[in-house]
Amino acid sequence: MKICIVTEYFPRTENFEIKGGAEASAFNESYQLSKNNEVIVLTSKEERVPSEYEIKGIKVICCGRERSYVQSGSFLNRLSFMKDAYDVGKKLNVDLVIGYNFITHPVAWKISKKLNIPSVARYHDVWIGEWFNNMGPTGLVGEILERYNLSRDFSLIVSVSDFTRKNLEKHFPASKIAVVPNIVDFSPVESKKYPETTISCVARLVEYKKVNDLIMAINILQKEIPDIKCKIVGTGPMEKKLKSLCNDLNLNDSIEFCGFVEKHEDVLKIINSSHVFCLPSIVEGFGIVIVEAMGCGVPFVAARIPPVMEASNEKGGIFFQPENWEDLAEKLKYILNNSEIYEDLQNEGINQSKKYQGEYVGQELEKLYLKLIY
């Protein structure tokens, strides 16, 4: 097959510079599909990146205005990307086109109509009715666009979880929805445990990731574990507010904001070196980073939300009541104070993470896409 993948962002090098789950999904699946097929990726132009390049046998074409990573807003730049990606895509000789988020879904659909080929929307989470709650006023554009996307006649929507599939069925024909999980596959990393008890967190610093709940939990735990440390990997609009909260609570020596860590391997080393991983987020489509923590043999504590419970199969960690930092502190303390439970969770997590290896997921996707073409 000749496959066109449309994604807002894509790694520049094999260092795997990834900012979010949709981008990780696009890269991992592009790589697996490229083993037996020709893959062309349409993505955004970024500073100091050539307009066309190749990575792991995947041809990458950069579209639109040069821009840095954003999760919300940037309407004119996003429109420029969408228009340019369509203009490039409609001239390609491909058999199938796939979009990876609400910005790229309509681009993929329009390219498919122009070329008269099947279109696929890779779907991580349904936000209809929740855009304003999750993103504030700028979310209204997302609400309109997602409703528009789900009214299009995509050949297939591939959901990352049963949770997302059930939400999609409220807006799209169930017969045209399939479920294939994200690929979470990485080489083992070697790193020593931090000398102090350390909690790690990898998340965009946005409201719904609830990193503030982790900070409040660390404030509670510090009274019993004075040398406790927390490393937060990620950037976003909440960064200044979160740092201010740490300052108000006198936690500047305990909590480190690591910012955007360019190499994925270095992110994994931070997780691997920590004692517990925490994901306090109340909005996830799957929870890739939870599977990464399990693969590192690091037990997790996460908010009790269906997508993360599904991805982990409730193995490898324990769950706390969402937005309850006191419960979060109790669950973190429980894992840290029970060595036998800790070891059981390590073993469970490692076994569960093996279910998301790239070769298996890639084969499942390839079967679905071949059926669309032949």
Cα–Cα distance for residue pair 97/150, rounded to 1 Å: 16
Asked if residue 351 has pLDDT above 80, the reply is yes
Strands 58-66 and 38-45, by their bridges, are parallel
pLDDT above 90: percentage of residues in the chain: 78
**pLDDT value, residue 374:** 86
Under the banding of pLDDT at 50, 70 and 90, the label for residue 16 is low
pLDDT (tens digit per residue) in 227-238: 999 999 999 999
Helix (H, G, I), strand (E, B) or coil at 72: coil
Asked if residue 69 has pLDDT above 70, the reply is no
Asked if residue 279 has pLDDT above 60, the reply is yes
Under the banding of pLDDT at 50, 70 and 90, the label for residue 18 is low
Asked if residue 17 has pLDDT above 80, the reply is no
Under the banding of pLDDT at 50, 70 and 90, the label for residue 286 is confident
**pLDDT value, residue 13:** 75
Angle between helices 339-353 and 325-336 (to 10 degrees): 100
- In what order do the strands lie in the sheet containing 156-159? 52-55, 58-66, 38-45, 2-6, 96-99, 119-123, 156-159, 177-179
**pLDDT value, residue 67:** 79
The CB density around residue 76, as the number of other CB atoms within 10 Å, is 11
| Angle in degrees, CA 109, 113, 119, rounded to 5 | 45
**pLDDT value, residue 47:** 81
The CB density around residue 372, as the number of other CB atoms within 10 Å, is 15
**pLDDT value, residue 323:** 97
Q: Over the Cα atoms of the chain, what is R_g?
A: 20
Asked if residue 138 has pLDDT above 60, the reply is yes
**pLDDT value, residue 25:** 86
Buried b (16+ CB within 10 A) or exposed e, 188-198: ebeeeeeeebb
Asked if residue 73 has pLDDT above 60, the reply is no
Mean pLDDT of 66-84: 79
Sequence-ordered alpha helix ranges (H) in 151-296? 162-168, 211-221, 239-248, 264-273, 288-295
Asked if residue 70 has pLDDT above 70, the reply is no
Beta bridge partner(s), residue 320: 303
pLDDT (tens digit per residue) in 155-195: 999 999 999 999 999 999 999 999 999 998 888 899 999 99
Residue of 174, 183, 165 whose CA lies nearest to 123: 165
Beta bridge partner(s), residue 277: 200, 300
Cα–Cα distance for residue pair 256/262, rounded to 1 Å: 17
Asked if residue 127 has pLDDT above 80, the reply is yes
**pLDDT value, residue 339:** 95
**pLDDT value, residue 52:** 94
Compute the mean pLDDT over every residue in the chain, rounded to the nearest whole number: 93
E strand or H helix that includes residue 310:
helix 306-312
Pick 325 or 23 by higher pLDDT: 325
**pLDDT value, residue 227:** 94
Q: Residue 269 is encoded by which pair of tokens?
A: 């080393």
Domains and CATH numbers, the chain: 2-183+357-373 (3.40.50.2000), 198-355 (3.40.50.2000)
